[in-house]
Structure 1
């Protein structure tokens, strides 16, 4: 599997991309933990990660990586990632080793095209982990990582109409931050129909 791989050259990257294009990855898509959802306010594609729905112990992590590669290959341009840490538990945390393997095996163009990584509802654990990871393993993306306290702040960079998220995230945000995001969404949304998650 990819977890034990070191960085590889272009031949390895080609094999990974070929697998991503050919393998049946519908099982990962059905988890709902990773999907595309519209564009941010700068016109970049948005990739959404739902931490609560990511369960490493019961998932094929090789296929999860391939699904991400397939998605980024289809975007083939600049993109932003929004990771929702909302209501996640120990069972939702990937190993540090796997996270590093994902980064090491990712094509350079995917790293270059990542323009923003927003971590919504961060905790001390996510802050320490991202500091460690971006300081020692991936310093190139350190300036791209942003801790976002709630949806109202997120909506300043991504229009609510372009962001499909599970109801539990909105409900938890109301508990944490009140109805500010709901009011902001109503008053600042641009015209448009929400996009549906990629399957």
Structure 2
């Protein structure tokens, strides 16, 4: 009977719709078993009719209907601050841009000339160097041109150590580096043929004495032509420090350079060697030399007085013996 009822339902559905009716329940267990142990889940009715319209296909339940007007959307103030304006910026933005960006300063012709004087570009050993001339203003007198000697353009280069900076300065190494470049570049400009260097050591305290490494570097960085054309290196008023340094470094100095070194103890002795017409002697060295001359004169007079007294005593003793 059950089979006949099922068959009749199938035939009735096929006759009505042309297709078998979908099942209305899902068995969770096998076909065999007690009917009370079966659990059935009800499925929603599914319509497979081809006669449905497009409106029926796209109908959504009431709980899924969304009203666009009820949605929360950001206000204009929420995104206008971050919106990129591809057109002309606002007035406030233009004002802030003007305050942030400073205009490029324009130099006058005089200011450009003054700025160019603060830096000098030199080429030493095929390398380009820049010299801070502003920091060397108090020390540019350390090297000067003292005229010429003999026949031709034989230059006299005067190096005054009294104009060197104090070694206790914080920027001492920076100044000496710029001064080193300044001395080498100036020497190349002053010298055309043979030349001599007059090193004025008088009135120079120990704190202003150049280091041995600095002097050695100066000599090594001098162009080979300048080293070859150096004919004499005169040291005026040499101190025990200078003599000691040269004595220690003599084994490491070439014999040619050692033969060019001469010691001069006074300006009068220097005047006998070179023309002094264009040689600039600093006032501190002149005062020091004058004081040194007075001291030498005092020592000489004291020595003469001692010798006179000793001779007088001898004569007095001889006279008493004769008497």
TM-score higher than 0.5 here? yes
Equivalent residue, structure 2, for 1:55: 165
CA deviation after TM superposition for structure 1 residue 159, in Å: 1.6
What SS does structure 2 have at the residue aligned with 1:160? coil
Larger Rg: 2
CA deviation after TM superposition for structure 1 residue 62, in Å: 2.0
Aligned in 2, Cα 1:110/1:133: closer, same or farther, shift over 3 Å?
Answer: farther
Q: Could you give the per-residue CA deviations for residues 147-172 of structure 1, whole angstroms, max 9, x where no partner exists? A: 10101110112222121111222222
Counterpart-to-counterpart distance in 2, 1:108 and 1:56: 31
1:136 and 2:255 matched:
no
CA deviation after TM superposition for structure 1 residue 132, in Å: 2.6
Aligned residue among 122, 136, 139 for 2:238: 122
CA deviation after TM superposition for structure 1 residue 26, in Å: 5.7
Counterpart-to-counterpart distance in 2, 1:27 and 1:139: 37
How many residues get paired?
A: 164
Q: Aligned runs of 1:1-199 on 2, under 5 Å?
A: 13-15=125-127, 18-19=128-129, 23-25=131-133, 27-28=135-136, 30-31=138-139, 32-41=141-150, 44-55=154-165, 57=167, 58=169, 59=172, 60-74=175-189, 75-177=191-293
Aligned in 2, Cα 1:165/1:126: closer, same or farther, shift over 3 Å?
Answer: same
Aligned in 2, Cα 1:156/1:54: closer, same or farther, shift over 3 Å?
Answer: same
Deviating above 4 A after TM superposition, structure 1's stretches of 4 or more consecutive aligned residues are none
CA deviation after TM superposition for structure 1 residue 109, in Å: 1.1
Once the two structures are overlaid, the 10-residue window that deviates more, 94-103 or 131-140, is 131-140
C-alpha RMSD over aligned residues: 2.4
Which structure 1 residue ranges, 5 or more long, are not aligned? 1-10, 179-199
What SS does structure 2 have at the residue aligned with 1:88? coil
Aligned in 2, Cα 1:158/1:25: closer, same or farther, shift over 3 Å?
Answer: farther
Query: Which TM-score applies when normalising by structure 1?
Result: 0.72
What SS does structure 2 have at the residue aligned with 1:140? helix
Equivalent residue, structure 1, for 2:314: none
CA deviation after TM superposition for structure 1 residue 122, in Å: 0.8
Aligned in 2, Cα 1:96/1:156: closer, same or farther, shift over 3 Å?
Answer: same
Counterpart-to-counterpart distance in 1, 2:249 and 2:182: 22
CA deviation after TM superposition for structure 1 residue 38, in Å: 1.1
